[in-house]
A and B are shown apart, each in its own frame.
Chain A
């Protein structure tokens, strides 16, 4: 946006017009799954507005984002918003900001986006406190590729920050990562719609359309420079690539729809390059894909878009995190799919590692007890515990990623009535006592249902899975045994007794059509089932299993 900084309500002080500023604002997502987007946005910024709710105070996201900005050496403008609310307590929040981040109360802006109060101070503060971009306008061009998306009509649109030099329409540009060259066909700024300017100067953030076919060519964090100046350009530090935290199998709900699903996934990943995709075959579910996601929300969003935008009906297997298995012959295996892990391996397993995260949790102090219980159930290790003020507690924990991925946040919210906030960043692998848990139906393992769990939880999880399955699998003509097993050891078992009777006693001339319709319906019901050996498994069974932690 362009902003005319009018000081003291006087546009023509000293006969000079107030200067016009070009400000580039980036909104960042609040959810932890997308903290990756926050950090890459910060790379293009000189400062941040750290917005805190006047009633709720400092949250886990506030802490996480503060440190991201702080470590990137950005100017931080604290803003306490929603001061219009009856429960607003800006002084308390100011004290929290002071004690947690050493931010001076006098620097804090108070606003209400609802009433408009205090908003007039925000942009002047931006101009006063945040320095202009530092680049060298006389150096050769270096641009940071921040983001990209695919547009049906215009192809790939890249968001870039010009660090040094300037870009003109028609310039030949190259990517440091791929070495590919393009022509800058259209360039401009987001105002907020794409607005062609024909030129981008040092410090500007804008868009470039250059005839890229797929967002896969547009590597986030890449450095782009003039093709002609290859020799003297030092690539920018870039970002570490987005890390896939969660993997799950995606299968067409109706086996015949594989091609349709394939097509839908291809189109969708064109737009969201942060999903990794590889083909997978399951004996229970047929052909499908193993996909990697940034987190569970990311996964849900992807599923939803597949269903809503592409009409794909899918079955997702239980999400898993990437484990590392080490065998006695020294070989290591990264396991993104529990089914791929041999249940009775030839080589002895020497060690298993699982990824961990550092979690930040902020909550009212009355919930501390139950939250600590939850965290220790989730195998968490406390790293830090402190008071933000007399009523709010801040904690840092190391947690196995697996424990966070499945339903952790929901449970946290429910035990704290929604008052706890939570954020995490990925951390190291830790050695762990892991076992593969198989689910067997009538003695036959169902590959799509196997999971890797911590040994201490295997009995509980096995029992839960078996109970859930017993509820969702209908009685069939044969008795069905449902077992959870570790290797050859069965740890939980249930049986579904055989169906006793399913018959329509009468069928005369007038009933034939009606009876036939009924049986057709029954047939359609069977079609929607996945057949595992002799057992018909409803698709809900797979959905239900997602909820077992």
Chain B
């Protein structure tokens, strides 16, 4: 856990501090498990006034730690025996093989958006000479280069350019970033390189250049197929650009591409939503993302609208939109593989799967969050703080990864939350290996009534549905593998629709999970 504090006027040029800091950092991490320890280590900055300072705070008293190794194994498809692989010291950090790159530039802010973006102005379609973009990409590359790693970096398997509007950035600069990544970590031949692209920000030539650089997956921000809706949510493009963009992507022969849609927009009717889904299917993307509009505080929509009230759809309508998407897309042979993601067979977004499997990933750029060694680390959201952060990283004053001590409760919570969002669901065998059978049994117990109500599905090893009416309490120890629960998932669409409810129920179970000793024993 990391807490960022700003200290005014902190000047300290004592080089020895550096060493001292890294030493005490080490100490603080070792004492993390001491009860009530709030061991604080501060890293002072060089040659700067008004420097942000980074405090590494030991998390609240945590009863037990697991190695990140172990966490990783919860999902890795090759299953090395956990017990053989549990030495905590020798093999501390597993290097991520995924990288998220944040390119924050947009022409203007959409009315629903509360992301970390930099609005360049509606006229900015050409950005190759915009100093804001040039400078930013330089800082970005410096950040990549300054990242500390274990000896042998594993080549990246996925890279994701997200934003903002990455397609606003000139290919030459994208090239710089990719080259930097390649030099630093290596880039697998078969890596999935995705880019979020908005209609109206690229032409045929730009698309082709991006492809030449290695971009092989496009996530097209269409959002809606109605001129009126595009306008009312403040998109910088119209319907014509949407069709153009789809044509370009198809003409360029991008094999793997996604259309991103938003459901439950203000004034959206079910006819409009059906039309958007139909036109999406006609465009034949390999992937479709369907996001529900979230009304965020501080956005224009947040000021104008109240969820569930006109002109926003009611909760019932909004649920119907969700069900409609699920029905229509599944009928068109898309797999609903995650709450908001659909794809043709084999076209899951590998990069996003990294997140949902709780696997580690790098992140570079303004406001981005990485997961390395079990630590979620968020970069500053303000440009001047971000550039200082990069300087400090270069000077070795901060480290965006952590040790391998992760609180098992936190990890269990993340694993449950993320995996239940997917159609694959929670792999109980792996989960049990990491966290013990008592927790698994409590989860089974918790969800049983929801299996009956059709919100949760229990599956066996072969992923066949297990009927609850003929099971007893020994769901987990059942010797007959046909009746042993191997996975639990939320049903589509009813379970997915109430996923917050269902997942927070599981949080409650994990919260009151007291069986640490046995979990620890099994884990080590």
Contacts and interface: CB of A to CB of B under 8 A. Distances in A.
Interface string B490-524: 00000011111111110110010000000000000
Contact of A509 (B355, B496, B508): B355
A520 interface: yes
A300 to B, nearest CB: 33
B291 A503 contact: no
A503 B352 contact: no
B369 A503 contact: no
Interface in B278-312: 290-292, 294
B389 interface: no
A506 B291 contact: yes
Given A503-B292, A516-B417, A534-B449, A509 B371 contact: yes
A40 B370 CA distance: 74
A523 B339 contact: no
A502 B507 contact: no
Contact of A505 (B291, B413, B453, B508): B291
Interface residues of B, number: 49
B440 to A, nearest CB: 19
Given A505-B292, A516-B414, A510 B363 contact: yes
A512 interface: yes
B455 interface: yes
Contacts of A520: 504, 507
A510 B499 CA distance: 19
B340 interface: yes
A501 to B, nearest CB: 4
Contacts of B413: 516
Contacts of B100: 509-510
A523 B34 CA distance: 27
B95 interface: no
Contacts of A500: 315-316, 318-319, 497
B319 A501 contact: yes
Interface centre among B369, B421, B453, B502 (most CB of A within 10 A): B369
Interface in A485-520: 499-510, 512-513, 515-516, 518-520
Contact of B376 (A503, A506, A512, A527): A512
A509 B363 contact: yes
Contacts of B354: 509
A474 to B, nearest CB: 11
Given A500-B316, A505-B291, A512 B418 contact: yes
A531 to B, nearest CB: 11
Contacts of A476: 501
B355 A512 contact: yes
A509 B497 contact: no
Contacts of A178: none
Contacts of A502: 497-501
A523 B496 contact: no
Given A478-B453, A510-B367, A504 B500 contact: yes
Contacts of A308: none
B504 A526 contact: yes
B450 interface: yes
Contacts of B340: 505-507
Contacts of B363: 509-510
B44 interface: no
Interface centre among A499, A503, A508, A519 (most CB of B within 10 A): A503
B322 A501 contact: yes
A515 B421 CA distance: 12
A505 B378 contact: no
Interface string B309-329: 000000110110010000000
B369 A509 contact: yes
A522 interface: yes
B361 interface: yes
Nearest to B352: A508
A507 B417 CA distance: 10
B339 A505 contact: yes
Contacts of B356: 507
Given A508-B352, A512-B369, A501 B498 contact: yes
A518 B370 CA distance: 20
B497 A507 contact: no
A349 interface: no
Contacts of B450: 477
Contact of B290 (A504, A505, A510, A519): A505
5 A-B pairs closest in CB distance: A505-B292, A500-B319, A501-B319, A522-B504, A523-B507
16 contacts: A478-B453, A500-B319, A501-B315, A501-B318, A501-B497, A503-B322, A503-B496, A505-B263, A505-B290, A507-B340, A507-B421, A510-B100, A510-B363, A510-B368, A512-B418, A534-B449
Interface of B: 100, 162, 263, 290-292, 294, 315-316, 318-319, 322, 339-340, 352, 354-356, 361, 363, 367-371, 376, 378, 413-414, 417-418, 421, 449-450, 453, 455, 496-505, 507-508, 511
